[in-house]
Amino acid sequence: MDVFSPAGIHFGFLQTLSQVNSFAYWQHLSLLDRELHNMFRMYAKLRYSLLPYLYTAAHAASRSGMPVLRPMPLCFPGDPHSASLIRQYMLGDALLVAAFTDIVYLPVGEWIDYWTGERHAGPKTFECTIPDFAGGPLFVRAGAIIPTWPEGNQADRQIPVDIGLHFYVYEASDFTLYEDDGRSFDYVEGKCSLTRIRCWADRSQADIAIAARTGRFEGMPEQRIYNLYVHAEEKPFIIRLDGVVLPELNRCPAYPSEGWYFDRVSWQIHLCVEEDRSAAQSVRIEIRFDATQRRDGIQTLRNAERKSKRRSADSANQAGQTDAAVQGTCPPIAPYNLEHKLEIGLLSGDAPSLFDAFERFWSERVERNQPQSEVRERLLSLVGLFVRIGERLGWRLTEVAGEHYVRFMKLPELASLDEARLLVRTVIQQFLDHKQQVKGARAPDLIKQAIALIEGEMEQELTLKYAAERLHVNSSHLSRLFKREMGIVFSDYVLNHKMQLAKHMLLDNQKIGSVADALGYKDSSHFIRVFRNYWGLTPGELKGGPPRGGRASSDSNRA
């Protein structure tokens, strides 16, 4: 295994056998830098978690001759493109691995990017974006059922009682989990266990059946607990276990039949069930989806909201450019920026920043809007913001607002603005209290440190790796935590913050080169390109200069 490159680690772990031939000291893992060492650990844990999937594929290989690592022409003989695909292969039935390339061909069907959850319809060839924490492309065939073991650091261990089942729901799928003692040749005499798992799904529902285990072997767990992870495109509105409705939780279930939890970051449904104690009946799970809570629809809506807010901000900024340039001061913060600060405050739990953003929002967008219709619209948008953030965090506003829920939902109908302002401040405080209870203090503290680092070191090239090293945490952990808490990836947050600051510095008549240096752009031309892509105009045009590609007339020059 080549352990000194991300692609080598990726390929080394995602094949039939993995071995590090460290015959000399320079091949030792302790010599890896922190980023590669963390990547090696991540892939090692991934492989150990996939052992039941790989072991089942090995059993199929011993019985049928179909190898664990399968060339594309073997799996897709009717696809004319498959014969030329020498840098990708199937690992078992469900996983498509590409190595030493970022160009991937997906055969006919639906495929899910394992790293990002993004869905693709084949056949198609495209350039895949590989996350910083990974070493190559990895896709899951839609409809796959993948069993996993709990986190461990060795293969030769006792068969665990708890086992994970990942369902990538899509039409009808079937998987038979094979298990034996993993040590002896008793399986030749039929001493093994089989568990048949089936799933039927469409856009509105998914029905899962986990049959009782058949067969026995030495060391077989007497009772099996299944942790289900259903990768869905919609949030459920009801889940039944053997006909009994399960409650929705605001955390992952800790024990079987406790309830279910929906993670809006990964769009996974988590629930825990146990095998029928009589070992006579299948465990059945019925999931009914809410079509109004669809992943791509919500993402499209959010993108449209962002574009609309950005256009509004651009219009407001362009309208105020002349006065700001004359006066030499920054214009008032755009409405989009105020809502953005409110959103960040609600997600991060930073109380001082949140209340400051709210007071400025109230002053700029509510009290200054005299027409009743505009005030009502602003209050409705404020209520909608709380609802969206609550949904993103997996909370119900009824739980957060408590006794104030009914009045808060009727915020525009309150008698006075003072009464409405006091009510919103009360709900904000309850929002913060609820976040503290549910999340605990550690995660928000780390995010506060990351935000403080961004704001305090704008002159640096603020990459995720740089921030993780400064905060002494794993970069992939920081990435997941930042996305979960803030609702935006780290790099996009940094870009938004730098571009907002760049706009104000330029309108404050600072030179383009000075602004580029202050924001960590060593090359002014690179800064200009980034600025133009973000705002739709160059820094010079923002400062009131001639349009890009044009020049002042000779008359104006003479004047």
225, containing H or E segment: strand 225-231
Question: Has residue 327 got a pLDDT over 50?
Answer: no
Best-predicted range by mean pLDDT among 61-75, 358-372, 444-458? Answer: 61-75
| pLDDT reported for residue 370 | 62
Where exactly are the structural domains of the chain? 6-141, 145-296, 327-542
Mean pLDDT, the chain, as a whole number? 80
- Predicted confidence band of residue 4 (pLDDT cuts 50, 70, 90): confident
Measured between alpha carbons, how far is 4 from 420 in angstroms, rounded to an integer? Answer: 60
**Lookup: tokens for 150:** 């709990």
Identity of the highest mean pLDDT range in 179-183, 296-300, 320-324, 527-531: 179-183
Q: Give the C-alpha separation, 165 to 520, whole Å.
A: 45
- C-alpha span between 325 and 509 (Å, rounded): 7
What's the pLDDT band for 326 if we cut at 50, 70, 90?
very low
Tokens matching residue 479: 């990435």
The predicted-structure confidence for 12-41, as pLDDT tens digits, reads as follows 999 998 888 766 656 677 778 888 888 898
pLDDT score at 234: 84
pLDDT band at 478 (very low <50, low <70, confident <90, very high): confident
pLDDT at 305 over 50: no
Regarding pTM above 0.85, the answer is no
Rounded to whole angstroms, the Cα distance separating 362 from 351 reads 16
What tens digit of pLDDT does each residue of 180-211 get? 988 889 999 999 999 999 999 887 889 999 99
- Same fold? 6-141, 145-296: yes
Residue 403 neighbours by CB under 8 Å, 6+ apart:
none
Query: Residue 444's Cα: distance from chain center in Å?
Result: 17
Q: What is the pLDDT of residue 250?
A: 77
The architecture in CATH of the region 327-542 reads Orthogonal Bundle (1.10)
pLDDT surpasses 70 at 549: no
Q: Is 479 helix (H, G, I), strand (E, B) or coil?
A: helix
- The CATH number fitting domain 145-296, selected from 2.60.40.1180, 2.40.340.10, 2.60.120.10, 2.40.128.20: 2.60.40.1180
DSSP notation for 58-77: HHHHHHH---SEEEHHHH-T
- pLDDT tops 70 at residue 301: no
Q: In the predicted model, what is the mean pLDDT of residues 83-111?
A: 94
Q: How many CA atoms lie within 13 A of 33 on its CB side?
A: 6
Q: Which residues lie closer than 8 Å to 205 by C-beta, 6 or more apart?
A: 286, 287, 288, 289
Q: pLDDT tens, 342-371? A: 777 777 677 777 887 788 888 877 776 567
Reference 69, options 102, 104, 96; nearest CA is: 96
- pLDDT at position 314 is 53
Average of per-residue pLDDT across 315-330: 39
Binned at pLDDT 50, 70 and 90, residue 7 comes out as: very high
The 10 Å CB-count burial string (b at 16+, else e) for 318-338 is eeebeebbeeeeebebbbbbb
Lowest-pLDDT range of 82-86, 106-110, 255-259, 507-511: 507-511
**DSSP-assigned states of every residue in 124-176:** EEEEPPPPTT-SS-EEEETT-EEEEPPS-S-SSSPPPSEEEEEEE--SEEEEE
What is the pLDDT, as a whole number, of residue 368?
A: 64
What are residue 95's DSSP bridge partners?
91, 140
At 56 the pLDDT is 95
Contact by Cβ (8 Å): 206, 167: yes
Mean pLDDT value of segment 135-161:
87
Instruction: Answer for the pair 356, 533: CB distance below 8 angstroms, yes or no.
Output: no
pLDDT grade for 54, boundaries at 50, 70 and 90: very high
Residue 438's pLDDT is 60
Domain 6-141, CATH number (from 2.60.120.10, 3.40.50.2300, 3.40.50.80, 2.60.40.1180): 2.60.40.1180
pLDDT at 393: 65
- Bridge-based pairing of strands 162-168 and 225-231 is parallel
Tell me how crowded residue 25 is: count the other CB atoms within 10 A of its CB.
8
How close are the terminal C-alpha atoms of the chain, in Å? 72
Contacts of 28 (CB under 8 A, 6+ apart): 22
